[in-house]
Amino acid sequence: MARKFIVGGNWKCNPASAKEANSLLKEWKKGLPNVDKSKVDVVICPPALWMSTLAPSIEGLGMEVCSQNVGKTDAGAFTGEWTAGNLLDLGIKWTLIGHSERRTKYGETDADVAEKVGKCQDIGVNVILCIGETLEEREGGKTDEVNKRQLGAVIPKVKDWDKIVIAYEPVWAIGTGKVATPDQAEETQAAIREYLKSAVSAAVADKVRIQYGGSVTPENCAELITKPNIDGFLVGGASLKPSFMDIVSKVGPSKMADMWPKFEEKMKKDDMNETAMAAFKYTYGVLVSGADVMIPESKLDPVESLMEYEKLKEKPDPRLLKKTLILKLNGGLGTGMGLDKAKSLLEVTGGLTFLDLIAKQVASMKKEFKTDLKFMLMNSFSTSKDTLEALSKYPELGTGSDLEFVQNKAPKVTASDMSPAEWPAQPDHEWCPPGHGDLYPAMLGSGTLEKLLKKGYRYMFVSNSDNLGATMDLKILSHFVQSGAPFMMEVAERTDADKKGGHLAKDKATGGLLLRESAQCPEEDEKEFQNVGKYKFFNTNNLWVDLVALKREFRRNDGALPLPVMKNAKTVDPRDKKSTAVLQLETAMGAAIQCFQGASALVIPRSRFAPVKTTNDLLALRSDAYTLTEDFTIVLAAERQGVPPDVKLDGMYKFMDALEKLIPNGPPSLINCKKLVVEGPMTFGKDVVIKGSVTVKNTSGTEKELAAGVYEDKTVEL
């Protein structure tokens, strides 16, 4: 049976302060990408007083807290003790028992040790049982005898061997710098396993993990771990150093050490900048370390109430506009709607594309606020050229690097071995977009962030280019600036229609805001995830960022923001399902809310969230249910009272060309439509008016026309 390695860090009565402990844990974080969590368990034993306070940071590293000791009694008049039950009550599932320092310095006997193990077994606490001989005993040839005695005392108390790990720690090697040789340790641990076989069973002997402890270091651990009966280490002194992570990564190495040089070479060859490489290295590290990306219910609190747009009291300050950048994300292709160009080049209404509308919105804001406004786009390598061409008719928006920066691309990862994906037939397919979380590294790496800061820009309002409701709002800008928050997310209230999408929540440990996407929700918490009464808000992707704070966060995190990573399983050639299976790593820009201490959120009216994702959205938008205002925003007609029509077109109308054929005479009137369902091949006649809920069906298979007329609350069979 393959036993999973387990490494323990026994801090004993160290370090001198909780502050030092915290900075040690922070240092360890850097080593995480080098460790494959599926190969090694790690438990950390801090002094008892800090077990609770350090637990979130320890667990944040994918490690578990382990007590150094536990009492042998239940609750009662036992001053200075704690029980196994107390541990579980604090969420601590592990304890050491019988460490040689407890035995020699505090007089713990084999019988005490056995009682303690019994208490842990009763309640289900995992035990690392420490055994080992003194120098005298070793020299007297009594090693195996001592181990058998110490272990033998405990065996009658054990019912569940899955909750027992043995740490063989020769007393003469503890804290002395005198490590057992790999052969000595292997020989002794093989004898311990042999004893388990005869005293308990072959199955137990085979599955119980035996650690070695005593002067283990990053230097001597590599050879020790090759021995078949050494299943990990219990580390003392070396667990108080940043290099403890080297021990962990030598026991359970990730693919980072082997593969990173290959990715680095590939990216350098492609002239990628340092920031882009650091961003990919971070996401790749999350992938190969097998870090748990789930956010369980137990770690969250709901966000009860937030500031609402209607209640903003700050006095609008037009001077802030001069320090503010309006950024539109424009990296997306309209492939979902059957286009092979930037989605924003799609005609929305009245012959105007998204880009036309955005350009006109900016022009009208300049007029309204009587000031210049800085506007930029983040394009991707596939949207840049078309977009700049289309915008050349609006020279006042700016040109070149004043108008855009280009999103990075990331190497695809071969799913089978985590190497850089290769596809010589079409090398373009070896790269993918890294998601809109790339906004931040792309801004920094392209030099845009620095350039903006130098020119005195401090604030950024960013939104998706397909959300025509996301216009500059001076009230919101003034609130954001005066609140002093480094980051603010515009959120909207979730309705039943939004229950499958992500939600805002509070991190129980830090009280900070975070987003939980459906891919980050464990299956058993799905019901709570969809509870729109509990988790009331969703991210609209209209974000406000203090650029000085952004720069500071990059510095604080060594050049890469620690955003949650999503992995998408695809084939290297997306159209050839038989081509190599790859993973594409992505981050989302809204998730950065968790990176900024003091980040906030604002509830906005739905009118600021009007994205066009499908032909359903577009048909509604082109109809009279919406109007185009003088400042080129698209708003719902007043009669609709804030509720858009619910349009459900047959899947055959998913692509733009099919939509255009469906409405050769322009869209039907939907101003009084609640719901429109279209099934089967058809066209809409010239003056069609839909009222209430209408379903139009054609089951014949040949295209038919829905004639002019008013249709109200009915099903029409063509």
Ligand X SMILES: O=C(CO)COP(=O)(O)O
Active site positions, annotated: 10, 12, 99, 101, 169, 175, 215
Distance CA 306, CA 432 (A): 37
CB of 173 to ligand X, least distance (A): 6
- Taking the least distance from each CB to ligand X, the nearer of 186 and 466 is 186
Q: Find out whether 444 and 436 touch, Cβ atoms under 8 Å.
A: no
CB of 572 to ligand X, least distance (A): 46
What Cα–Cα distance (Å) separates residue 462 from each residue in 330, 376, 420, 471, 543? 11, 9, 32, 10, 5
Strand ranges across the sheet with 566-571: 413-414, 581-586, 566-571
CB of 223 to ligand X, least distance (A): 16
- Taking the least distance from each CB to ligand X, the nearer of 180 and 582 is 180
Piece of 208-216, 526-534, 554-562, 615-623 that binds ligand X (CB under 6 A): 208-216
CB of 12 to ligand X, least distance (A): 7
* Given 117, 235, 272, 514, the residue binding ligand X (CB under 6 A): 235
Rama region for 7: left / alpha / beta (φ>0; ψ in -120 to 50; rest): beta
User: Going residue by residue from 92 to 111, which x/- string records binding to ligand X, judged by CB under 6 A?
Assistant: -------x------------
- Reference 585, options 434, 427, 421; nearest CA is 434
Instruction: Return the biggest CA–CA distance within the chain.
Output: 105
# residues contacting ligand X (CB under 6 A): 14
- Taking the least distance from each CB to ligand X, the nearer of 177 and 400 is 177
- How many CB atoms are located within 10 Å of the residue 53 CB? 12
- Taking the least distance from each CB to ligand X, the nearer of 99 and 374 is 99
- Copy the structure tokens of residue 431: 């790269």
- Taking the least distance from each CB to ligand X, the nearer of 69 and 361 is 69
Q: Find out whether 5 and 231 touch, Cβ atoms under 8 Å.
A: yes
Residues from 305 through 334 that contact ligand X (CB under 6 A): none
In sequence order, the β-bridge partners of residue 320 are: none
CB of 175 to ligand X, least distance (A): 4
Residue with tokens 């009245």: 350
Q: Could you say whether residue 248 binds ligand X (CB under 6 A)?
A: no
Distance CA 438, CA 91 (A): 37
3-state SS assignment for residue 496: helix
Residue with tokens 């402990």: 21
Distance CA 28, CA 9 (A): 12
- Reference 224, options 188, 196, 257; nearest CA is 188
Q: Could you say whether residue 219 binds ligand X (CB under 6 A)?
A: no
- Reference 705, options 688, 691, 692, 693; nearest CA is 688
Using Cβ positions, the residue closest to ligand X within the complex turns out to be: 236
- Reference 348, options 608, 607, 622; nearest CA is 622
Residues from 8 through 27 that contact ligand X (CB under 6 A): 10
Q: Could you say whether residue 232 binds ligand X (CB under 6 A)?
A: no
3-state SS assignment for residue 254: coil
Piece of 212-220, 401-409, 498-506, 651-659 that binds ligand X (CB under 6 A): 212-220
- Copy the structure tokens of residue 581: 């299976």
- Copy the structure tokens of residue 601: 């959120």
Q: Could you say whether residue 213 binds ligand X (CB under 6 A)?
A: yes
* Given 114, 180, 216, 468, the residue binding ligand X (CB under 6 A): 216
DSSP state letter for 666: -
- Copy the structure tokens of residue 569: 């399983």
Parallel/antiparallel/unpaired status of strands 410-411 and 413-414: unpaired
CB of 216 to ligand X, least distance (A): 5
CB of 239 to ligand X, least distance (A): 7
Residues from 153 through 192 that contact ligand X (CB under 6 A): 169, 174-175
CB of 105 to ligand X, least distance (A): 12
CB of 480 to ligand X, least distance (A): 51
* Given 34, 215, 408, 698, the residue binding ligand X (CB under 6 A): 215
- Taking the least distance from each CB to ligand X, the nearer of 151 and 649 is 151
In sequence order, the β-bridge partners of residue 705 are: 683
- Reference 316, options 463, 488, 473, 461; nearest CA is 473
Piece of 234-242, 251-259, 276-284, 666-674 that binds ligand X (CB under 6 A): 234-242
| Residue 17 burial by Cβ neighbours in a 10 Å radius (0-12, 13-18, 19+) | exposed
- Taking the least distance from each CB to ligand X, the nearer of 101 and 297 is 101
Distance CA 539, CA 492 (A): 7
Q: Could you say whether residue 234 binds ligand X (CB under 6 A)?
A: yes
Note if the bond before 316 is cis, omega within 30 degrees.
no
Sign of the CA dihedral with 76 first, then 81, 86, and 90 last: positive
* Given 214, 332, 564, 681, the residue binding ligand X (CB under 6 A): 214
Distance CA 710, CA 672 (A): 11
* Given 46, 182, 236, 668, the residue binding ligand X (CB under 6 A): 236
- Taking the least distance from each CB to ligand X, the nearer of 112 and 169 is 169
- Taking the least distance from each CB to ligand X, the nearer of 236 and 435 is 236
CB of 254 to ligand X, least distance (A): 24
Residue with tokens 């309209």: 334
- Taking the least distance from each CB to ligand X, the nearer of 117 and 595 is 117
- Taking the least distance from each CB to ligand X, the nearer of 234 and 288 is 234
Distance CA 677, CA 626 (A): 19
CB of 95 to ligand X, least distance (A): 13
Distance CA 266, CA 413 (A): 12
* Given 33, 170, 237, 667, the residue binding ligand X (CB under 6 A): 237
Write out the residues near ligand X by the rule CB under 6 A: 10, 99, 169, 174-175, 213-216, 234-238
